[in-house]
Amino acid sequence: MQATDLGAYYFHQGTNFEAYKYLGCTLTFEDGGKYVYTFRVWAPNADAVALISDFSGWESPLALSRVTERGVFELSYTSMSSLEGLSYKYRIYRDGREFDKGDPYARFSRGYDDGASVIFTDDGFEWGDKSWLAYRSRTVVEAEGVFLPTPINVYELHIGSFMRHEGDNSYLGYRELAEILPSYVKSMGYTHVEFLPVHEFPYDGSWGYQVCGFYAVSSRFGNPTDFKYLINALHKAGIGVIIDWVPAHFPKDAWGLFEFDGSPLYEYQGEDRKESSWQTRFFDLGREEVQSFLISNALYFLREFHIDGLRVDAVASMLYLDFDRRPGEWVPNSDGTNENREAAAFLRKFNSAVHGEFPDVLTIAEESTAHGGLTSPVYNGGFGFDLKWNMGWANDFYDYVSTDPYFRRYKHKALNFPLMYAFSENYVLPISHDEVVHGKRSFIDKMFGEYEDKFLEARAALLLQMTYPGKKLTFMGTEYAQFREWDFENSLEWFMLDYPKHREFRAYVSALNSFYLSHSELWEIDFDERGFKWIYPDEQDKNLVAFKRLNLRGEEIIVIISFSGASQEISLKVKPDNLEVLFDTGNFATRSDFVLENGLGAKIIMPRFSGVVLKENKKKINIKPKHKEKRNVL
């Protein structure tokens, strides 16, 4: 059996996790310096398939031959010169119709409405990130019974609107961004960037979430080599790179995966599963060739682009048969349940494949329900993700800070209820792009009250995010308190930094991030109750919480945060002389006013909308390791 035969066999079995080396356009050489380009495409329902291109003629189709019973077509094309950078499409013939499609495995594309695939073979890029990859291997681990005892503070970013050229409002390219982004992210104290989808997509208004070219990075910003250059620059600066990955659905643009060979192929066929409320098509995750396509795609970006994490979008839409459907629009399982078992099996297969090859790469679920086991190991019946966005925390917390402080007592569960389930999954606390658009207001503008109060409340809110258990994610623009909602068609309003309030706010966020990075109490034990102790969970009448965070050495810090519109007093059973102020939100009068002797312990005067982090100097007590199931195990 030839290597190509094995490639076809495993592709049709759903286990070819290098499918991009078999399908698409591959290059070999013959004697005499001839370039041999082999084109392969899966189109089982097509009557015929042909290649149209820059080099063979757009109206002079070259026929491909069917080479597998399950529908792979192939053509070898020999050229005396390189075809690098030239474009092509597949012409599909079906039932008297013909239509042109981009190559699903193309590594580059013209994108937009055209969608022609571009030949892009190995670019010979030389990576310079060995030190980063070694660091990643050392830190994405389990230590002393604790998973991921390392700081993770993510800066979420949309490449098209982070910053644009002045004058014509055109995009910055990947290489231009590489000159700006690494130093900015590093100086602000973030550990990772997370890019909204970078794969090729036609419609800017989808923010990249309606992907047509899954193997091609968006040509809006440059070519694949340029994107590698950006990732390499970030890695050399000590910044990890996470990308959004969208295996749930794809749009109905003509050149994409939509009814690729004249009928549903990559998508489900049944009307109860085929189309989403976003007017996109759901992947048929039970089909073996689709599994090979998607899992190979994830591994392609990890192998070829050294990506450090995949944030899997819209997991709930994959897991539930009745997701966003009314009664009568979906068909339950034979036992009446609503879980999409094919999708569940696919997600386990995906995580097993990723972690089998890359145990130090993070997979992160964006899942909006309370479905259990997302971050439990596959061998234990879980789904095998490393992390999950805590969207419930975010929604409740935004509602809380938007409420008049006088009425916040009735919504105090937003502050204490998250700790009831905080350790049921490995959570990320997200302040994400989804929550600063479509009338939801920017983060700073969610805060109740007048201009001055909003800045004070936002400082306290970010202190809570950074000190509660869980890894952190913040969307661009939040760090300097942009008031305007995020607008994907324009740059962030960097001119706001001309105003003192916004400069001061960014300096505060930078200081807060730096404090987070330098205090292991805030990240060594994020997913275990041993890392958290309540002091005051139920002070609803004071709009206040107080708690402790602990590291693996048993060292403690004390966090007190007040969302009250009035100054108030809180007592601690500690000796004032033993207390050290580590950090505060900056609206205390003087640090000497923080702690006052009252005979029994310490009392602290908390100004309105304020927070403080304290340390009691006392003897250390080591926390004994507790057995916890290892992550990233098949």
Report if pTM > 0.85: yes
How large a percentage of the chain has pLDDT more than 90? Answer: 85
In this structure, of 127-131, 169-173, 243-247, 573-577, the range with the lowest mean pLDDT score is 573-577
Give domain status of residue 564, yes or no.
Answer: yes
Closest CA to 192 of 491, 463, 513: 513
For 536-565, write each residue's pLDDT tens digit: 999 999 999 999 999 999 999 999 999 999
The CATH number of the domain where 583 resides is what? 2.60.40.1180
Alpha-carbon distance of 25 to 507, in angstroms, equals: 49
For 180-218, write each residue's pLDDT tens digit: 999 999 999 999 999 999 999 999 999 999 999 999 999
Alpha-carbon distance of 245 to 243, in angstroms, equals: 6
Eight-class DSSP state of 416? H
In this structure, of 31-35, 155-159, 180-184, 330-334, the range with the lowest mean pLDDT score is 31-35
Give domain status of residue 576, yes or no.
Answer: yes
Could you tell me which residue, 631 or 110, shows the higher pLDDT?
110
**633 has pLDDT over 80:** no
Give domain status of residue 557, yes or no.
Answer: yes
**50 has pLDDT over 80:** yes
Give domain status of residue 541, yes or no.
Answer: yes
What is the sign, positive or negative, of the torsion defined by CA atoms of 130, 134, 137, 139? negative
Mean pLDDT of the chain: 93
For 66-95, write each residue's pLDDT tens digit: 999 999 999 999 999 999 999 999 999 999
User: Which residues are identified as catalytic?
Assistant: 313, 366
- Structural domain boundaries enclosing 535: 529-616
Q: What was the pLDDT predicted at 33?
A: 86
For 465-478, write each residue's pLDDT tens digit: 999 999 999 999 99
Number of other CB atoms surrounding residue 175 within 10 Å: 16
CA 242 to chain centre: 6
**626 has pLDDT over 70:** no
Mean pLDDT along residues 327-333? 92
**631 has pLDDT over 90:** no
Give domain status of residue 543, yes or no.
Answer: yes
**382 has pLDDT over 90:** yes
Give domain status of residue 553, yes or no.
Answer: yes
Rg of the chain over all Cα atoms, to the nearest angstrom: 27
Give domain status of residue 556, yes or no.
Answer: yes
**274 has pLDDT over 80:** yes
For 492-521, write each residue's pLDDT tens digit: 999 999 999 999 999 999 999 999 999 999
Q: What was the pLDDT predicted at 2?
A: 57
The residue type found at 549 is R
The full length of the chain comes to 634
Give domain status of residue 336, yes or no.
Answer: no
**356 has pLDDT over 60:** yes
b/e map of 320-342 (b: 16 or more CB within 10 Å)? bbebeeeeeebeeeeeeeeebeb
Please tell me the total count of domains within the chain. 1
Mean pLDDT along residues 48-52? 98
**What values do phi and psi take at 20, rounded to 5?**
-70, -15
Take residue 40 and report the two structure tokens written for it: 């392969």
Number of other CB atoms surrounding residue 198 within 10 Å: 25
